[in-house]
């Protein structure tokens, strides 16, 4: 595994969405083979309460089926091919049938000490899944992977629920245009104050908004910074020089080949 504890940590986005069908066993296997430090994946709740891993609330973009996750049972979802649309694309390889995975399967696929970056999603209209936080926290605890799990969300209400349910499991906020477009949030100090007040100690910032000034002030407040999505060697070098703790990438094959500085080490257990 490439420089396991050397920063910036490299996190495979939906496994390796740039080269494989996203959020599938094939994508995670590819990312792990490149030497990622962690994998990132998204969780929704299907009709019978099973937490399942895929990005969109609607299945059309990946499976070709125009249905919402919450409308289908897990057994029904298992009949769908999560690589169907990918396989039909002009640059796709002959990827075999890929199941929509359950959360517990993905947790089992990634061996220790791989980080598990679990993003909790919402319905397409932004409303919350009833009980998703409790179910996900329990699934992680049942799998005994709390120490290498990081919960994440764009939704601060979800993060607060997770803090109350499982305060010992790390959480990070994901922020992008809607967050920074709030009045006054072009000021780095205001951003740091807001995140600190919410009890956020790790934040994933869309690359378009992560400046040296923001990285510096977040780090001065003890808030770890995480850049997404970083897909070229040049971008990786730029954000590494900002001092970020981690980057999320669609192309782990490219970034895991880049040397990282051995003087920037981190112990997962110390987070």
Rounded distance, CA 153 to CA 209, Å? 17
Residue labelled with tokens 């990438």: 249
C-beta of residue 239 within 8 angstroms of C-beta of residue 211: no
CA distance 64 to 87: 11
Domains of the chain listed by start with CATH number: 9-270 (3.20.20.190)
pTM to 2 decimal places: 0.94
Residue by residue, pLDDT tens for the chain (271 residues) are 343 447 899 999 999 999 999 999 999 999 999 999 999 999 999 999 999 999 999 999 999 999 999 999 999 999 999 999 998 887 666 678 999 999 999 999 999 999 999 999 999 999 999 999 999 999 999 999 999 999 999 999 999 999 999 999 999 999 999 999 999 999 999 999 999 999 998 999 999 999 999 999 999 999 999 999 999 999 999 999 999 999 999 999 999 999 886 554 555 444 4
In the chain, alpha helices (H): 25-34, 60-63, 74-77, 84-88, 103-109, 132-142, 156-165, 177-180, 188-197, 212-220, 233-241, 252-255
Question: Which residue's entry shows tokens 């809607």?
Answer: 178
């Amino acid at each position: 595994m490439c420089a396991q504890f050397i920063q910036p940590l490299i996190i495979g986005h939906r496994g390796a969405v740039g080269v494989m069908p996203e959020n599938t066993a094939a994508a995670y296997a590819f990312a792990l083979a490149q030497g990622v430090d962690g994998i990132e994946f998204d969780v929704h709740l299907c009709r019978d309460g099973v937490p399942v891993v895929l990005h969109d609330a609607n299945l059309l973009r990946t499976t070709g089926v125009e249905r919402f996750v919450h409308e289908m049972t897990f057994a029904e979802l298992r009949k769908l091919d999560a690589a169907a649309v990918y396989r039909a694309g002009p640059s796709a390889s002959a990827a075999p049938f890929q199941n929509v995975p359950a959360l517990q399967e993905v947790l089992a696929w990634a061996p220790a000490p791989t980080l598990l970056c679990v993003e909790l999603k919402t319905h397409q209209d932004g409303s919350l899944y009833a009980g998703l936080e409790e179910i996900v926290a329990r699934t992680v605890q049942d799998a005994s992977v709390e120490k290498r799990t990081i919960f994440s969300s764009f939704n601060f209400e979800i993060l607060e629920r997770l803090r109350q349910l499982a305060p010992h499991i790390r959480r990070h906020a994901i922020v992008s245009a809607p967050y920074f477009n709030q009045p006054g949030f072009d000021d780095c100090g205001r951003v740091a104050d807001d995140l600190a007040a919410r009890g956020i100690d790790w934040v994933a910032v869309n690359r378009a908004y992560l400046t040296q000034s923001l990285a510096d002030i977040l780090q001065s407040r003890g808030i770890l910074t995480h850049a997404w999505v970083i897909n070229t060697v040049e971008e990786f070098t730029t954000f590494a020089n900002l001092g970020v703790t981690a980057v999320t990438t669609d192309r782990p094959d490219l970034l895991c080949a880049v040397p990282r500085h051995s003087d920037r080490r981190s112990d997962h257990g110390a987070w």
